[in-house]
Structure 1
Amino acid sequence: MARPTVPEAGDRSGLAGDAVRRIMHIASAMRHQQDEAIAGLGLTPAAARALHELDPDRPLPARDLADRLGCDRSNVTALVDRLEQAGLVERRADPADRRQKTLVVTADGRRVRDRVRLVMSDSRLLGGLTTGELATLRELVWKVSDGGCPEECGEA
């Protein structure tokens, strides 16, 4: 098998294209690992993301979860149904407005959410990098993502 052509150092477009392809490959590999680990927890990727978005210390209305996930409220209803059936969240009346239901993470939900957070920050693919290389990679990722990444990206 022939080795792919490596762009010359002065070929900015070729270097950028190669970097994007490699970033996409890494993202795909990470997603695959995450999806397998999440399935091992008995969750779908969408349900895991929903659980991840819920703060165990602050109940949240389902419509706010839909906003956070960037999806239709009807989709969130199905996700919450699955999380509730698994015993990970409960729907409870909001003390401030009893007509509204909020989503509360249960004790089991907290444990599973902690595991989901570990899965979502798994860095096995970066294991071959030195501490200095990791620092450089982080700086470069921050520099690239600064223009399109919401502030909360750095808080996780």
Structure 2
Amino acid sequence: MTQPTPIPGGPPGPDRTVLAGGVVRRLLHLAAAIRHHMDLELAELGLTPAVARALDELDPDQPLPARSLAARLNCDRSNITALVDKLEDAGLVERRPDPTDRRLKALVVTDVGRRIRAQVRRIRSDSRLLAGLTDDQLAALHTLIWQVSDGGCPEECGTERTADRDTPGVAKPL
């Protein structure tokens, strides 16, 4: 039986499968911890993660039909009604006639919804768990995550990609 080949620059001894498995487990642990902290902060706003994500997907300056929101959330149109009801009951959105087709109702973010949405966006993009990293370490981690999640780093790794919500075949958790 052959001995595992050490990975250059990595810890001595473990083979690639063991090392990769450890990385995956740590990434899953980190993702769960980030999600837990986000869920707690969203709960302080009185929102569930699903309702917060729905609000985050709405553009305050562009009314959107509920069916389009369902498509953005990658969920069935029949399931979007409960989310929209919760947003409306909280005063975060209003259903109004669609400006392009008055037969439809469009979702319009209210002034309160704009303020809460800004807080949701901050919560969903903030992770205190990464606060201990230097700027260089954070940039390196960003590049590595892009590399493994997209098969390569975009030309400008420091810029946020807007196509995430429209990436075919990528399920978005609620």
1:144 aligns with 2:148: yes
The normalised TM-score by structure 1 is 0.89
Distance, in Å, in 2 between the alignment partners of 1:52 and 1:151 is: 13
Identity %: 64
Partner of 2:69: 65
Tell me how far 1:9 sits from its aligned partner.
5.4
Tell me, what secondary structure is at the counterpart of 2:75? Answer: coil
Q: Give the gaps of 5 or more residues in structure 1.
A: 1-6
Instruction: Give the Cα–Cα distance (whole angstroms) in 2 for the partners of residues 95 and 58 of structure 1.
Output: 10
Q: Which runs of 5+ in 2 are unaligned?
A: 1-10, 153-160, 166-174
Give the TM-score of the pair, scaled to structure 2. 0.80
CA RMSD after TM alignment: 2.0
The runs of at least 4 consecutive aligned structure 1 residues that moved more than 2 Å come to: 7-10, 150-154
| Deviation, structure 1 residue 147 | 3.9
Please say if 1:88 is aligned against 2:92. Answer: yes
Aligned length: 148
- Answer yes or no: is the 8 Å Cα contact 1:9–1:15 preserved in 2: no
Q: Which structure features the higher share of strand residues?
A: 1
- Deviations along 1:21-59, one digit per CA (max 9) or x if unpaired, are 000000000000000000000011100000000010111
Aligned to 2:17: 13
Alignment of 1:6-155 (within 5 A): 8=12, 11-147=15-151, 152-153=163-164
Deviation at 1:126, TM superposition (A): 0.6
Matched residue of 1:97: which SS?
coil
Query: After alignment, is 32-41 or 124-133 more displaced?
Result: 124-133
